[in-house]
Structure 1
C-alpha cells in the first residue's frame, strides 16, 4: 500500500499530550476497550433511488451475473515467483492489467463472503479492487469457472441525474449479501449496493455525458454506486487507519474486522508516541447486511486489540485464529504470513508470499484464503489452503 498518513499541522503541534493519553492507543496495552471504537452510520444516499429508477426504466440496472456473463478479459495460469508457501492456484491478469502503472490492485473478496454457501447465483466469484492515484477505484468481477473478468467503476451519486468517481485507496474490500464494503483510509468504511449495477455508455469522462443524453465512466461499461458510509467518530483528533477489512462467519453474530497498516518505528508528528496498530471487530446484521447500530446509528466495536506487527496489508480471523499478511517490498524480497491466537505469541512464516502481497480473504467452504499482488508486471490472484 502506497499512502502517507498525515495529521494536520494544528494537531501535530497541539495534541501530543492528548495523543499519549488517548485510551484508544496501545502504549503498554494489548487488549483495548471495544466501547472506545465507534462508527456513525450515514443516511442512505438520497440520489441513488432516483438514479436507480432511471436505469431500471432503461433496462440498464444489471446483476452481478450479467456482469460476469459479459466478461471481456481473461486470467491465465501463472508461474509466479512464489514464496515458501505454495499457492494451490495462481492466476495472472491479462497483459494490459498486469503491466499498467495507472491502476494498482489492492483488495480481494469472494462469493464465500457474500453467502456462507460459497457461491453467488451458482457462480464462484472473486472481486478485486484497484485504485488509480487521486482519481478513482475499479473492481474486477472474476468468474472462477471461466476465469474471465470485467472491470466496474465505483461511483458516488451527487445529484438525481449525476455521479462522480471515488478517489480512495480501497486497500480492502468485503462482500456481504448485496453490499460491498470498501475501506476508506482516513474516514471509515464505504458501502456499495450490488443490487444497483448500472450499464452506461462507453465514453470518456465520469458521470453525465456532455450532450446530457447518457452517462459514462472513463470507458467502462458498468458502475457500482455508493449507498452509505460508516465514519470514524473520533475524527482527526484520534485517528484510525482503515487499511483493510475482512469477514468472520465463525463469530456469532458475523463480524467485520478492520485493521491498520503502520510502518516500522512510525510515530505521530512532533511526538514520541508510536502510531498504534489495532484490529477492531464490529457485529453485522445478517438480515439487513448492515453493521449493527443503536437507535442513534452508532456501531460500537465488539472487540479491539493491539497487534504489534508492522506493514500489515490484510488479515482475517476464523475460529479464533488470525492470519496476517505482511509485505516487505519488491522482489527479490517476499511477504510474510503470521498466524496468531489472542494471548499467544504470533508465529511467523517468513517469506510465505511472493512480493507485493496485499489484502486477505478467507473461504470457509473451500478452506482457502486469497491474496493479490500489487507490483506491475508481477500481478496475481493467489489461493492457499489453510
Structure 2
C-alpha cells in the first residue's frame, strides 16, 4: 500500500477543527496554590546558544542500523500476517474518561497555566499502583499532513514500567497506548508491547528501556531509550504489529506459540540509530530525551532534547535531524552514503530537566521558536514551560507570587497537531490538549 498517499491525502477538516470549540476546563481544584519557595526553583533559561563548531555538532551524528528484511519476514512467518493500527483500534478495551469524571488527584496534575482545553484520565487499573508511568505522546497529526491515519484520528502514548515496582515480569518494559480519538467525548485505547527481534527473527525480546520521547512520522514510530543504552533511538513500523497467541507471563516464543506477558499485540523494532562516537555522556553524545516533529522545515525534521537532571549543572542541548524524502525510506532520517544522520541545527539552553520539546515557526517569523517543558529542580510538583529563541525566553506565570511552576506535574513530551492547532501532552496521570495559540498567549 502507498503509505505516503494514504496519510497525506486531504480530508474534510470540519470534524478536526470542531474539537477546538469550547472553553478551557474549569479545573478549580487542579490549579493548586504555588508557594513563594516554589517560585524560586525555576529560573529563566535565557537565550538559546547556537552550536556550530564540529566539536559541538560531531557528537550529535547518528549511524543507522536497520534490521535485515529476512529477519522481519521470518518473524512474521512464525507469528502470522502482521496487522496495522486499525486492527488494534477495533479491539480497544480500555476507556479514557473526561476531566469532569476524573478524581481531584488526577486533575491536580494538569497545567495551572495555560489551562488544558481537553483532558482525560486513564483507566484506573492502569494508574492505581503507580508501577507504570506515561511520559511521551505523539499523534496521527505528526504522522501526516491531514492529521488522520487511514480513517482515524489517533493518539499514541508511551508508558514505561518503573524498575523495582510491580510484578518482576513487568519491570523495565515499555508499552504504547493506541488511542482511538475519533470521538473527542469517548476515547478508547488498547495496549501494544514494544519488542526487539532476536535470533534472526526466530524469537523476540522486550524493549527493556524507558521511552521518554516518541514520534510517529509516516508509518514509523521512533522512540528514545534509557540513558546508557547503545541505541539512542529505536524504529518501529506501524504496519508490522503482530498478534500474540499465548496468554502467559513469558515474553517471546513459548511452547504452543508466542507470548507477551498477557498483551494481545507486540510491535517489533525494524531498526535503530546509535551515536557514531559512542554511548551518551555529559562530555560527548547527549542522552536523548524528548522528541517531536517539526513540519515547518523543508524537509520535515525530527527535533530532540537532551536528558539532563532537573536543577543540575549540565545545560541541555536541543537539535534536529532532517527526515528522508526518499519514498522508499518513509519515516527514516536522511542519511549520507555511510548511513550517518547529521544534525542540521543545534543549540544549548540553560534549562535543565527538559521533558518536552517543540519547534514551531509562526507565519511571518524568520525562525522557529523552541518550546521546552521542564521538571522543577526538586523533581516534585508542577514544572515550567518556556518559549526560547536566540534573543531570550518567555515563561508562563501563575499564582499571586508569579511563579513559573505552572506546567503539568511530571509532564512528558509535547506534540503539535497541525490540522487542529492543538498541542498534546501528558502528566503523570492524564492526557491533555490545548490550542497552541492559547499556549503562546500565556507566554506573552
After TM superposition, the score normalised by the length of structure 2 is: 0.73
Deviation readout 1:127-173 (Å, 9 max, x if unpaired): 01111135311000001124010000000010232101011110010
2:157 counterpart of 1:157: no
Point out where structure 1 has 5 or more consecutive residues left out of the alignment: 1-28, 267-273
Match of 1:54 in 2: 78
2:98 to 67, 77, 86: 77
Cα distance in 2, alignment partners of residues 305 and 52 from structure 1: 42
**How many residues were matched structurally?**
342
CA distance change for structure 1 residues 155 and 309 in 2, over 3 Å: closer, same or farther?
Answer: same
Q: Aligned with 2:352: secondary structure?
A: coil
Further displaced range: 288-297 or 350-359: 350-359
1:31 to 50, 55, 62: 50
2:81 counterpart of 1:67: no
Match of 2:249 in 1: 204
Match of 1:44 in 2: 67
Deviation readout 1:177-208 (Å, 9 max, x if unpaired): 11000012333111011110001122221001
Deviation readout 1:330-363 (Å, 9 max, x if unpaired): 998322111122x211101123323121111111
Match of 2:360 in 1: 318
Greater share of strand: 1
How far off is 1:322 after superposition? 1.6
Point out where structure 2 has 5 or more consecutive residues left out of the alignment: 1-47, 101-106, 164-170, 362-367, 397-403, 437-444
Q: Aligned with 2:189: secondary structure?
A: strand
Q: Aligned with 1:223: secondary structure?
A: strand
Match of 1:382 in 2: 432
Q: Aligned with 1:65: secondary structure?
A: helix
2:179 to 131, 142, 160: 142
Deviation readout 1:27-60 (Å, 9 max, x if unpaired): xx921127422100013245222112333xx4x4
How far off is 1:265 after superposition? 5.6
| CA RMSD between the two structures | 2.0
1:263 to 309, 313, 327: 309
CA distance change for structure 1 residues 205 and 116 in 2, over 3 Å: closer, same or farther?
Answer: same
Question: Does the 8 Å CA contact 1:327/1:358 hold for their aligned counterparts?
Answer: no
Cα distance in 1, alignment partners of residues 431 and 129 from structure 2: 16
Greater share of helix: 2
2:268 counterpart of 1:225: yes
